[in-house]
Amino acid sequence: DAGITQSPRYKITETGRQVTLMCHQTWSHSYMFWYRQDLGHGLRLIYYSAAADITDKGEVPDGYVVSRSKTENFPLTLESATRSQTSVYFCASSEGEGELFFGEGSRLTVL
Amino acid sequence: AQSVTQLGSHVSVSEGALVLLRCNYSSSVPPYLFWYVQYPNQGLQLLLKYTTGATLVKGINGFEAEFKKSETSFHLTKPSAHMSDAAEYFCAVSPNTDKLIFGTGTRLQVFP
């Protein structure tokens, strides 16, 4: 089915472990984004990408790594997870008109 | 730097009453402005957007917003609330539509 999918939807991990959240879109949108949603902070931009092999930092990039070798995929890696990275993570894609299409989110708990 | 401030983290209205959700922005360049809605356990979806042209923008589900440059505001309204409008609403700003900065959100409750 067409759309944007995130996996896993739920993940529990321990402090210090590496975690990768996957994001896949079928529209061939140029732009892709990773946001985290926390109570009281709304959505904060972690990283975004304007095209394959082009990525840039958002508001809160520390502790995260992204890559975009293919237009349709935009994985987010937490290299050494910390408790402060417990959050709901949303991937989105766009053609740059301001209309972002969001995935259903990945809920990450770091113990 | 651009930012948005949403006044009121929670708003409660009765079914049939006016909905008013407030958003003020800060931008050094003419902004693009957006309202998104998030239903429980879902991602966000676009309600409406202002880029250029008419300052009163109509969106889905009967919502509209007016861009007021003099007040740096982009408040969201709906004349008559419906139970299905209960959700969280986010205002967002962008200098060029390729990257959005979101506000902290306003949770709308609708009582019968």
B69-112 pLDDT, tens per residue? 999 999 999 999 999 999 999 999 987 767 888 999 999 999 99
CB B31 within 8 A of CB B93: yes
φ, ψ at B95 (rounded to 5°): -80, -20
φ, ψ at B71 (rounded to 5°): -105, 0
Choose the closest CB to A42 out of B51, B90, B99. B90
Beta bridge partners of A15: none
Q: Do A104 and B101 touch (CB under 8 A)?
A: no
CB A74 within 8 A of CB A92: no
Q: Do A31 and B34 touch (CB under 8 A)?
A: no
A111/chain B closest Cα distance in angstroms: 22
For A20-77, the pLDDT digits (tens) are 999 999 999 999 999 999 988 889 999 999 999 999 999 999 999 999 999 999 999 9
Please tell me which residue, A20 or B29, carries the higher pLDDT value: A20
Look at the alpha carbons of A80, A81, A83, A89 in this order and tell me if their dihedral is positive or negative: positive
Q: Please tell me which residue of chain A has the smallest CA distance to B6.
A: A42
C-beta contacts of A63-70 below 8 A and 24+ residues apart: A64/A34, A66/A34, A68/A32
| CB of A98 less than 8 A from some CB of B | yes
The pLDDT value recorded for residue A52 is: 93
